[in-house]
Chains A and B, each alone.
Chain A
Amino acid sequence: MEKLLAPGHRACAGCSMPTVINLVLDAAGPNTIVATPTGCIEVTTTPYPESAWRVPWIHSLFENAAAVASGIEAALNHFGKNHNVFVIAGDGSTLDIGMGCISGMFDRGHNVKYVCYDNEAYMNTGVQRSSSTPPCTSTTTTPSGKVSFGNPRPKKDMPAIAVAHRVPYVATASVAYPVDLRRKVKRAISIPGPAYIQVNAPCITGWSFEAGTTVEIARLAVETCLWPLYEYVNGELAGVKKIHVKRPVEDYLKAQGRYRHLFRMKGGDEMIRVLQQMADENARKFGLLYEGDVTCTSGE
């Protein structure tokens, strides 16, 4: 099948975001309209007069994609047309500046499927912290420094916020698990009303990892339990992706420039322990491990 996102976009080599779009569009099919806020996705796919989109697509502003999609859905309703309406958006536009519009869209119950590709910072403006940036991450507005381990705050729990809005389908996903992501998109479409899917989407520029390891990095996020894969249907935890071999968080952190300082600074090991506790807490909270599961302690 022809890809609904044409090849030839201008994202950085090794960026996971085009893969996320392709997986979402593959699952949603051509009967789909996409709204997108400002961010890497917009500037890399639509330099006028060109466009990589083979489905109807609209960008308006940085913070209003959910409201724009609400309007599209309302118009389609009025005309009795039946197309999938998607938002595909970065974490900054979703968890921060777009929060009001998203909350409104969830609250009004629009049949809009919202996919956030979470690269854990504002990449388009040069890697600044977002409220989705994990603790101890070095970004350009929360740099590590002599007296700083980087971002001091925990990651905002957007899926929980979506669940609290009684969004009927809420899930996390990862580019490293394409079958799982496709299935979740299809499931989101099958359930009427709003849906929210947050996809872990490594950014080679902002995370600084070796070219060619994008998917590996994403898989490590899942295998360390830093990025649990789960889905909520009607407010109930309806499924988790279990982990066979739980990896220590060091494996994930070591592979990325944005955590390099943790291995160099005095007290960095303490910070790594805190991150490990977060991963362990995820494993416990979502039941990510099989009984008698192996927890690796070494690098491999």
Chain B
Amino acid sequence: MIAKEEMSLKERMARMKVVEGSYAVAHAVKCCAPDVISAYPITPQTHIVEHLSQFVADGELDSEFLTVDSEFSAMSSLVGASAAGARCYSSTTSQGLALMWEVLYNAAGMRLPIVMTVANRALSAPLNIWNDQQDSVGARDSGWIQLYAEDVQEAADAIPQAYKIAEDPEILTPVMVCMDGFILTHVYEPVELMSAEEVERFLPPYRPEHILDPNNPKTFGAFADPSYFTELRYMQWDAHRRALNKIETVAREFAEQFGRWYGGLIDTYHADDAEVMIVTMGSVIGTIKDCIDMMRSEGLKVGLVKIRSYRPFPTEALRKALKDAEVVAVIEKDVTVGNEGALLTDLKAALYNTPARVPVIGFPAGLGGRDITVRDIRRVVDKAIAARDRGIEAEMEFLSLREDLL
């Protein structure tokens, strides 16, 4: 752990407050002092915008808060505000994110460093308000950087980091901070709340080079014909490549100042000597860590790789972390209908051109808010060991399907 300004445990305990996840995120946003906030209510994201509205109403936060007519307008208005030089924030989930789809690509293509929290929730139909990550995973190709949080503290701490990454002149790419809906947004946990002064020391003011300014008129959003389009996409792609380093650096800077480290692009748990490796992202990591502790006490060499940055995809980091594994199991809260889990495909692709031919199997789990239990994770590990010893039977399997309903 890298913590220059490390405080004593007692000091830190004294700073801890038991707050709702949404409050912790809203508080972190407040500390980043966005100039314009624009969002539309949708469960389980609503509390975040309500807390922010209250901060504005109480004069604690000097932001323009736009009560827009839809998520589509929310993201569109931030495109305008960001182009006019404002630091911008939004949050949404599920159908709201889907309604933003067109604008997501637009914001990323116009290189506008907007930061948004996604309170992950399943997509309809059937209508379901509970947590899975189908929404943000479905937006993975929109050009946004995507960071996934394991707990409330991480979701809140990711906000200033997200701005620092997004606003870097080398990156200029919007960032989505994904946190599991309800599980993290509605839970009350002890959280160390940052202060505006601390964030000010961490996050430089946003000073964009290109803005809508009559004193220096510029054109935003021209159309590009085939002789230009590819290069503009390349530049976006290249910014993501640069972001691989930037995300690591910013995480380290954050740890140095705040004493809290969540990994850079990925993090690992008991990975060094692990024979069975689980790869996943989001709040299920807490359960998996407990489970690993239990299995380790039984002598099972199980380890974990947590994906913190899903886009850009941490190919190199994963290759390194998984090179000595004997089998890899992916648990993910999404599924590509017609293929397999998105993370499973991405991970297999990352490992393909390496000498290590470790078997990789995948498990869509926790869809529409179903609990992922210790027993489920145990089953995944059993199946992984079987795949290692006897060969892969099923590359992908829905975890704990209720056969009685099929």
Contact with B along A53-75 (1 / 0, CB 8 A): 11111111101100111111111
Contact B69 A104 (CB under 8 A): yes
Contact A46 B223 (CB under 8 A): yes
Closest B residue by C-beta to A34: B212
A25–B212 alpha-carbon span in the complex (Å): 16
Q: Contacts of A31 on B, CB cut-off 8 Å?
A: 214
Q: Contacts of A49 on B, CB cut-off 8 Å?
A: 222, 228
Among the 9-residue stretches B82-90, B141-149, B196-204, B350-358, the one with 4 or more Cβ atoms under 8 Å from chain A is: B82-90
> A32 an interface residue at 8 Å Cβ cutoff?
yes
Q: Contacts of A104 on B, CB cut-off 8 Å?
A: 68-70, 73
Q: Please pick, from A48, A54, A71, the residue contacting B80 in the complex, using a CB distance under 8 A.
A: A71
Q: Contacts of B35 on A, CB cut-off 8 Å?
A: 75, 78-79
A-B contact count, CB below 8 Å?
160
The range of chain A's interface size is 35 or more
Mark out the residues of chain B between 105 and 162 whose CB falls within 8 Å of any chain A CB in the assembled complex.
106, 110
Among the 9-residue stretches B59-67, B268-276, B294-302, B390-398, the one with 4 or more Cβ atoms under 8 Å from chain A is: B59-67
A60–B102 alpha-carbon span in the complex (Å): 10
A75-B36 contact in complex given A61-B76, A64-B76, A67-B73, C-beta closer than 8 Å:
yes
Closest A residue by C-beta to B228: A48
A67-B72 contact in complex given A60-B103, A74-B36, A75-B35, C-beta closer than 8 Å:
yes
Q: Please pick, from B38, B85, B222, the residue contacting A46 in the complex, using a CB distance under 8 A.
A: B222
Q: Please pick, from B77, B102, B214, the residue contacting A74 in the complex, using a CB distance under 8 A.
A: B77
B residues with a Cβ closer than 8 A to A are: 35-36, 38, 62-64, 66-70, 72-73, 76-86, 88, 102-103, 106, 110, 211-214, 216-225, 228
Q: List 5 A-B contacts (CB under 8 A).
A: A33-B212, A42-B221, A43-B223, A48-B222, A76-B84
Apart from A74-B36, A78-B64, what are 18 other A-B pairs with CB-CB below 8 Å? A30-B214, A46-B223, A47-B223, A49-B222, A50-B222, A53-B217, A60-B221, A61-B103, A64-B103, A67-B80, A71-B66, A71-B80, A72-B212, A74-B81, A75-B35, A83-B214, A101-B70, A103-B69
Among all A-B residue pairs, the 9 with the closest Cβ atoms: A71-B80, A104-B69, A71-B77, A67-B76, A71-B81, A64-B76, A68-B80, A75-B84, A51-B219
A residues with a Cβ closer than 8 A to B are: 30-33, 35, 42-43, 46-51, 53-61, 63-64, 67-79, 83, 100-101, 103-104, 107-108
